[in-house]
Amino acid sequence: MGILEVKNVGKRFGGLQALGNVNLSVAENSVHAIIGPNGAGKSTLLNCLVGKLIPDTGSVMFDGQSVLGRAPHEINQMGISRVFQTPEIFGDLSVLENMMIPCFAKRDGAFEMNAITSVVSQKDVIAKAEAMLEDMNMADKRHMHAASLSRGDKRRLEIGMCLSQEPRLLLLDEPTAGMARADTNNTIDLLKQIKQDRDITIAIIEHDMHVVFSLAERITVLAQGTPLVEDSPENIKGHPKVREAYLGETAH
Amino acid sequence: MFALDKKDARLLLMVAVLTMLAPFILNPFPAGSEMAQFNAGYPDLMQRFVIFGIFAIGFNILFGLTGYLSFGHAAFLGVGSYSAVWMFKLLSMNVLPAIALSVVVAGLFSVVIGFISLRRSGIYFSILTLAFAQMSFALAYSVLTPITGGETGLQLALDDPRILDVAASATGNIPVPGLFGLEMRASTNLELGPWVFTFNVGYYFSALIMLAAFYLAIRIFRSPFGMMLRAIKSNQQRLNYTGLNARPYTLAAFVISGMYAGLAGGLMAAMDPLAGAERMFWTASGEVVLMTILGGAGTLIGPVLGAGFIKYMENIISKINESILHQWFYWLPDGLEDFVVAMIYPFIGKGWHLTLGLLFMAVVIFLPGGLVEGGQRIGRMFGRKKSEEKDKPSGKTTPAE
Amino acid sequence: MSKTDVTRRGLLRTGAVAGAGLMVPTYLRAGGHEGFTNAPTGSTVTLGFNVPQSGPYADEGADELRAYELAVEHLNGGGDGGMLSTFSSKALQGNGILGKKVEYVTGDTQTKSDAARASAKSMIEKDGAVMITGGSSSGVAVAVQALCQEAGVIFMAGLTHSNDTTGKDKRANGFRHFFNSYMSGAALAPVLANAYGTDRKAYHLTADYNWGYTTEEAVKSSTEAMGWETVNAVKTPLTQTDFSSYIAPVLQSGADVLVLNHYGGNMVNSLTNAVQFGLRDKMVNGKQFEIVVPLYSRLMAKGAGANVKGIFGSTNWHWSLQDEGSKAFVRSFGTKYGFPPSQAAHTCYVQALLYADAVERAGSFNPCAVVEALEGFEFDGMGNGPTLYRAEDHQCFKDVLVVKGKENPTSEFDLLEIVEVTPVDQVTYAPDHPQFAGGALGTCNPGA
Amino acid sequence: MEAIILQILNGLDKGSAYALIALGLTLIFGTLGVVNFAHGALFMMGAFCAVTLSRILTLSHTVIDPTQTDFLGNPLKVQVPYIHDIFGQATGDAIIDWAVPLSILFAIPIMIGIGVIMERGLIRHFYKRPHADQILVTFGLAIVLQEVIKYFYGANPIPTPSPEAFRGSFDFGAALGFDPNVIIYPYWRLVYFGFAALVIGAVFAFLQFTTFGMVVRAGMADRETVGLLGINIDKRFTIMFGIAAAVAGLAGVMYTPINSPNYHMGMDFLVLSFVVVVVGGMGSLPGAVLAGFLLGILESLASMSVVIDFIPGINQVIIYLVAIVILLTRPRGLMGRKGVMED
C-alpha cells in the first residue's frame, strides 16, 4: 500500500480522452518518476492529484484519505507540496518573506487573522525561514526581491518553500525544464540531498532522462493517457515497449 | 515606539506632526493677501483632507495590498453617513455612537458585498463591486427616499425624536453634533499679524481618528496578515499550493477597508450632518481609486497625499474666478494682463476638471509610482541614501513608504 | 476706464489691498463682536455665489454668475443701475450695502449636495461670506439652505422648483424667490383645460427623485381638478438618457396627453424622444396628442431645439416681459453680455438685490434682522408684478408665466412665447397646504 | 403581448448603441490589452463631429432685417448661411438637413486620426504598465477631452435633428395586423439599428476574411508568437485602435438625433459599456455584441410600468442586477476567455 494510490482515474476534455484508466501507486519514502512523451497526460494527472482538476472517474487516495473534491489548499494541508514547471514564487516579496509564508501556513493553518501581530511574535517563523534559507544556500540573498533571482535560484527557493511546510509528498513538475546543464545538475544534487536528509516521498514528472535516471527508484511510463509500464529504472531502460513508444522518439 | 520599527515610527511621527500643525502649514499666506486664495487651512477643507485620507488609507489596504480593485467603495462611505445621520436623528447628537454605528453597518454591508464579489477576481470583481454600489446609489436616490432623503439628502429636522438628547437647541435650532458638549464646529482663531490660523474641534477630532487609522494601517501592512495580502497580489496560485486559502484573507481585507470607508462616512456626517446619495455614485468610488493610484498604491502615505491633492484641486482651484485672476495680474500692462488671464482662465474656476485631468495624465506618465515616487525622486536628488535603509536586517522588505 | 472696468478690477484690487491691512475674515463661531457669523468689519462685505460650474447645469450656472456680477456692479453703483431704479423699495443707494463695498467669491456646486455644501462652507469659513446664494437644483438648494441655517448666514436660493424647499425642508435663514411645483400646476391647469379641453387622459413620466415627485403631484392634482384623468405615472431613473422604452408604451395606454416631469438633460432627452416617436402627429380618442412640460427653461428649450415648438410649460420669468423692471434688467444684462438673460439669471439677480435691500432696511447684516426685514416684505418692480415674501414659509408669491415653444423663433434666445401671465392669487396656497406639509421653519440663527 | 414586442424593439435599438461601444472597447482591449477609460470620450467626440459639421454647414453672415426687432429693440440681425449663397436656399437647406448622415464621411477620417494619435502618442507607452495606470491615464484623457469640448461647445445639449425624411415613426402594429398606434417605432431608430448591424457585420467580416484581420486575431490570441513570425503587429494594432475609435465615433454620430449630444455623454455611457463588455466576457467580440443586445432588451422590459409596479425601482437597477447574476453563474461572463483580466 503506497502513500499515494491512484485508481482507475480518467479525464476527458470535450472529445479528447486526456487520461484513460490510470492506476498508480507511489510507495512511501521512494522517488517515483512519471515519464511520457508530450501529450501523454502527465500534467493532467498531476493536476488531478493536487485538486486543480477533478477526474471524471476513479479515486485518488493520499495516506488512506481521498483528495478528490478538496480545494488545492486543503490537499496541501494534507501533506502534498507541488513544485511547478516554471517556478511559482511571490515575485513582489523578498526571498525571506517568500520563505516565511509557508512557515506561517504550517504554524497557523489555512487562515489566521494575525492582522496586527507585532514583529516579536513572528520571531519563531523568521528563525525557521532563515534556517531553511541556510539549507538552500540562499541566506545571502534573503533581502533580494524574489522576482530578480536567477532561474536556478527561483527553483531552489520554490523547493525550499515546499520543504518548509514539511510535506510528506513532494510533487515536482519538470523541475529542470529550461535549465542549463549546470543548473540541472545542481538541482539533481539538491534533490538527492533532500532525499538523504529527510523522510519524504518524491514524485517527479520529467522529460529529461538524465534527471530521471539519476534520481528515480521507480518509473511509470505514460502514453496516450494510460500507463504503459511501471518498473525499476534498470528494467525501463531496456523495455522494448518503452523504447518504441517513447525513447525512440526523443533520441536520448 | 508603538511596536513599530524605526522607519515606520518616524513616518507616523511625521504624519502626526503634520496633521497637528496643519492649521499653520495650510495657511502660509496672510489673510486678505493676493495669495490667500491658495490657503487651505479652513476647517471644512482640513476636515475633508483627513476624512478622505482615512477613506483612501482603507481603500489601499484592499487595493494596494491584495490588488483587488474595488469600484464600489463609495457605497460603504454612503452607508456609513446614512447610519450616522440616523443615529443623530434617533439617539443623540453625540458623535461617538453615530461613528460606531457607521463602522458597524458599513462592516456588515461589506461582509455581504465582499462575500459575493470575491467569488470573482480581476475586472470581474471590479464590475461586481461597481454594480452593487450603483444599485445602492440608484435606490437611495429614488425608491428609498423615505430612508435616505433621496435627492435632497438625509438631514436633521426639528421634530426628530433624539431620545437621549434635545430635539431643538435653546435658540430653537437643530442641535449640532458634538462630543459630550464640545461642538464639532467650534473653532478658535489665532491672529498673528496679518496671518489668521483656525483651530477647529472637528478637525482635531478627525485628525486624531485619522492618526489612529494610519497607525492601524501600518500595523496591518507590517503584520503577517499584511504579508499574506501582498502574497495574494503577487501569486495567488502559489499561495493556494502553500496550504493557504486566499478567500478569507481577501474578505477580511475587504471588510476592513469597508469599515474604514464607513468610518470616513460617519466622520463626514459628524462634521456636517447631511448625507447625500451622490456620495455613492460611481464617480465617488472612482475618486478614491484615483486618490490611491495618484498618491501611490501600496504605499503607506501615498493615498493620504492623493486624497489631499484631489480635494485641494476641487476646493481651491474651482474657486478661482476671472476677477481674481485680474487681481493677480493687475500690475501687467492692460493688453498683456487680458492675454495672461485669457490663457490661464480655461484651467481654473469652472475649468478645474481640465487641470485635474491634465495632472492625472502628467503624474501617471512621469511618476509611475504616484506622488510618493515624486517625493522619493526629490529625496534622492538631495542625496539621501535610501539604499542603506533598505538593506537593514528588519526581516522584511517594505514597500516604499 | 469704463464703469464696468472699475467694478471688475479696480474695486476688487482696492478691496484686496484694504483687506490686507484691515479686514480679517471672522470665522464661524469665532468673531463674536457683532454677535453673528462673519459680521463684516472692514469697508467691504463678501457674498458667496455658489453655482454649478461643472456638470450638466454648467451653462445655467454661468448665466447665474453673470447675473450676480451684474447685481454686484449695480449695488456698487456701477452700470446703469438695472432694477435699482424700478424696485419699489428705494433703500439701496448704489454705494454698496450699508456703505460697504460688495465683494464676492464664487464656487462650484457640481449639482451635488456634498460638493455644494463643501463649497458653501469654504465661502463661510475661509472667505467670510455673510450670505450664500445660487444653485440650480432643489437637492442643492435644500442641502445648502440647511447648512446656512446651521452656520448662521442667510441663504437666498437660486433656481429651485421643488415644493420641499419652502415646504418640508424650509429653514428660517433660507428664502426662495423662484416659483414651485404647486404654482406650476396651478398656473398650467386652466391654460391646458382651455387649449386641450377638460376631457383628457394624461400619462406622466416623472423623474424618480424629490423634485419629480412634487411636480407630478402638483400637476396631477390641479389637472384632475379640471376634469382630466391620470392614466398612468411612471418613474424614470435620473441617470436615464434614452427614454424610448418609457415613451413607446404611452400610446397603448390610451392617453392623449404626455406630461414630462423632467428637468435639464432628462427633459431635453425625453422630449426629443417623444417627438421622435411622432407622438404629436397622432390622434388618440379623436383628439390631437399633446405633450406638456411643467417646468421650462430657455436653456432646456435650446437643447431640445425644434422639438419644443407649441409645447406648453411654465416658467418663473421671461425676458420678453414688458414691465419696467424686466425691461431694465434685460437692457443692462443684454448690453453687458450681448444676449438676453435666462430665468435663472433673473431670479439670482433679484435675490441678490432683495438681500441687499433687506440689509439696508434692517440697518444690519445680522441674519435675524435680515429675516425680519424680508418676512412679509411686499415689493414691486422686479418683474412678475407685485410680490410678497411670505413670512410663514419664506416663499415669494408673484405672477407665474405659462409659456409655449415658439413656432418661428427669430434667434437662438427667442424660443418661448408667453401665453398667459397667471395672476398671483391663482397660485397662492395656504402655508399648511398638504403638498407642503411637515417640517418647520424654526427660528433664525445668527450663528456666533 | 404588443407591449412586450414593443419593448424588445426598443431593447434592440438601445442594445445596438451598447453593442457598438462595447465592440470598440473590446477591440482595443482584445488587441492591445489596454483598459481604455477614454472610450466613452471617443463616442462623445464622434457625436461632436456631427455637431461640428452642422455648425460648418450653417456658418452664416449677418443680414439686418429692419422689419423685425431683437430683444433690445434694435433691428434684428438675421443669420444667413453661406451655403445658401453657394447652392441656393433649397439645396442649401437640404444639405443642412442631411448634416448627420453626411457627418459619417466627415467623422471617419477624423476619428481614425484621433485614434491613431492617441495610440501612438499615449497608449503605446502603457502596454506594459499595470491596468491601474492605464485606467488613470485614460481617465485623465477622457476628462481632458470632455473639458475641451465643453470649453468650445458649452455644457448644454445641442439639438442635432435627423433629416426630415426620417422623422416620425413607422407603425409596425398596423403592418403586423395589430391595432394601429400600438407598436410604433421611429424611422431614425430603425436606421440606427440597421447601421449598427452593418458596422458590427463589417468589423466581423474584416477580422474574419482579411489577412490583416487574421493577423490581428492571431495577435489577440498570442502576441509574442505573431511577433516572432516577423510580422509588425504593433503597426496593425495602431490601425485597430483607429478602427475602434472610428466605430465609437460613428456610434456617436448616428446617436445625435436620438439624444442631443452634450459634453458628458461619454461618461454617461462609460460605466454602462464596461458592464456590457464584462458581462459579454473580456476580450470576446461576439460576447460584447450579445451582451449589448441582451442588456438593452432587459432594460427595456424592466421599464414597463407593470414591472415597475410589481418591483419598485427595478428599472433603476436591472442592468447591474443582471450583471451580478451573470457574473456569479458564468465566471467569465457570457463568452469570456480564461485568464483574461483575472488578476
**Interval C394-419: pLDDT, tens:** 999 999 999 999 988 888 888 899 99
Nearest CB to B157 within list C53, C208, C439: C439
User: A139 to chain B nearest CA, in Å?
Assistant: 12
B130 contacts on D by Cβ (under 8 Å): 271, 274-275, 320
For a pLDDT cut of 90, what percent of chain A falls above it? Answer: 22
Q: Decide: A30 and A218 in contact? Cβ < 8 Å.
A: yes
pLDDT (mean) for C112-121: 90
Cβ–Cβ of B143/D320 closer than 8 Å?
no
pLDDT per position as a tens digit, D46-97:
999 999 999 898 888 888 887 777 777 778 777 788 888 888 888 888 888 8
pTM: 0.90
CA dihedral C367, C372, C376, C379 (to 10 degrees): -70
Residue B400: the pLDDT is 37
Q: Which of B142-146, C292-296, D175-179 has the lowest mean pLDDT?
A: D175-179
Q: Which residues are CB-contacts of B393 (< 8 A; sequence separation ≥ 6)? A: A143
User: C375 to chain D nearest CA, in Å?
Assistant: 34
CATH of domain A4-79+167-250: 3.40.50.300
pLDDT per position as a tens digit, C130-176:
999 998 899 999 999 999 998 999 999 999 999 999 998 999 999 99
* Closest CA relative to residue C260, chosen from C310, C301, C219, C316: C219
Is CATH 3.40.50.300 the right assignment for the domain spanning C182-315+402-427? no
B234 contacts on A by Cβ (under 8 Å): 90-93
Residue D224: the pLDDT is 65
Residue C31: the pLDDT is 40
Whether pLDDT at D145 is above 90: yes
Whether pLDDT at D227 is above 70: no
The answer to whether residue D63 is domain-embedded is yes
Nearest CB to C53 within list B323, B327, B350: B350
pLDDT (mean) for A116-123: 71
Which one-letter DSSP state was computed for residue A246?
I
Scanning D106-135 for CB atoms below 8 A from B yields 122, 125, 129, 131-133, 135
Beta-carbon contacts below 8 Å between A and B: 124
Q: Which of A64-73, B60-69, B226-235, C186-195 has the lowest mean pLDDT?
A: A64-73
Residue B378: the pLDDT is 87
The answer to whether residue D235 is domain-embedded is yes
Nearest CB to B120 within list D143, D316, D327: D327
Cβ–Cβ of B135/D317 closer than 8 Å?
yes
pLDDT band at D341 (very low <50, low <70, confident <90, very high): low
Higher pLDDT, C67 or C111: C67
User: What is the span of the domain harbouring residue D78?
Assistant: 2-329
Count of domains for chain D: 1
Helices (H) and strands (E) in chain D, counts: 14, 4
* Selected residue of C41, C114, C236 to mutate for chain B interface (largest B Cβ count, 10 A): C114
Q: Do chains D and A meet with 3 or more Cβ pairs nearer than 8 Å?
A: no
pLDDT (mean) for D97-125: 91
Residue A68: the pLDDT is 87
pLDDT per position as a tens digit, C5-26:
333 333 333 333 333 333 334 4
Whether pLDDT at D129 is above 90: no
Residue A110: the pLDDT is 79
Whether pLDDT at C4 is above 60: no
DSSP, collapsed to helix, strand or coil, labels residue D34 as: coil
Higher pLDDT, B186 or B391: B186
Cβ–Cβ of B360/D328 closer than 8 Å?
no
Higher pLDDT, B144 or B328: B144
pLDDT (mean) for C261-273: 91
Which one-letter DSSP state was computed for residue C248?
G
pLDDT per position as a tens digit, D193-225:
999 999 999 999 998 888 888 887 777 676 666
For a pLDDT cut of 70, what percent of chain B falls above it? Answer: 95
Is CATH 3.40.50.2300 the right assignment for the domain spanning C3-179+320-397? yes
Q: Decide: B60 and B213 in contact? Cβ < 8 Å.
A: no
Strands C257-261 and C201-207: parallel
Residue B395: the pLDDT is 37
Where in chain C is CATH 3.40.50.2300? 3-179+320-397, 182-315+402-427
pLDDT per position as a tens digit, D268-277:
888 888 899 8
Higher pLDDT, C27 or B306: B306
Please enumerate residues of B whose Cβ is less than 8 A from a Cβ of D.
Answer: 67, 69, 116, 119-124, 127-128, 130-132, 134-135, 138-139, 142-144, 236, 282-283, 286, 289-290, 293-294, 297, 346, 351, 353-354, 356-361, 363-365, 368
Residue D342: the pLDDT is 62
pLDDT (mean) for D132-148: 89
Beta-carbon contacts below 8 Å between C and D: 140
Higher pLDDT, A251 or D139: D139
Give chain B's mean pLDDT.
Answer: 88
Q: Which of C57-61, D6-10, D131-135, D202-206 has the lowest mean pLDDT?
A: D131-135
Q: Tell me the C-alpha distance between A61 and A69, whole Å.
A: 12
> Chain B contact for D177, CB < 8 A?
no
pLDDT per position as a tens digit, C297-333:
888 888 888 899 999 999 999 999 999 999 999 999 9
pLDDT (mean) for D167-196: 84
Residue C22: the pLDDT is 35
The domain ranges of chain A are 4-79+167-250, 90-151
Q: Write down all domains in chain B, each with its CATH number in brackets.
A: 6-300 (1.10.3470)
Grid cell of C91 as nine digits? 433703500
User: B58 to chain D nearest CA, in Å?
Assistant: 17
* Sign of the alpha-carbon torsion through B309, B310, B313, B316: negative
Q: Tell me the C-alpha distance between D304 and B17, whole Å.
A: 59
**What ipTM was estimated for this complex?**
0.89
The answer to whether residue D334 is domain-embedded is no
pLDDT band at A247 (very low <50, low <70, confident <90, very high): low
Please spell the DSSP secondary structure of D288-331, one letter per residue: HHHHHHHHHHHHHHHTSHHHHHHSTTHHHHHHHHHHHHHHHHST
Residue B393: the pLDDT is 38
Q: Tell me the C-alpha distance between C72 and C95, whole Å.
A: 11
Q: Tell me the C-alpha distance between B199 and C30, whole Å.
A: 10
**E strands along C329-422, which residues?**
377-379, 387-389, 396-397, 400-405, 416-422
Grid cell of C305 as nine digits? 431645439
pLDDT (mean) for D290-298: 93
pLDDT (mean) for A124-149: 90
User: B218 to chain A nearest CA, in Å?
Assistant: 9
Residue C3: the pLDDT is 35
The answer to whether residue D199 is domain-embedded is yes
Residue B384: the pLDDT is 54
Q: Decide: C61 and C135 in contact? Cβ < 8 Å.
A: no
Q: Which residues are CB-contacts of D207 (< 8 A; sequence separation ≥ 6)? A: D213, D214, D216, D217, D285
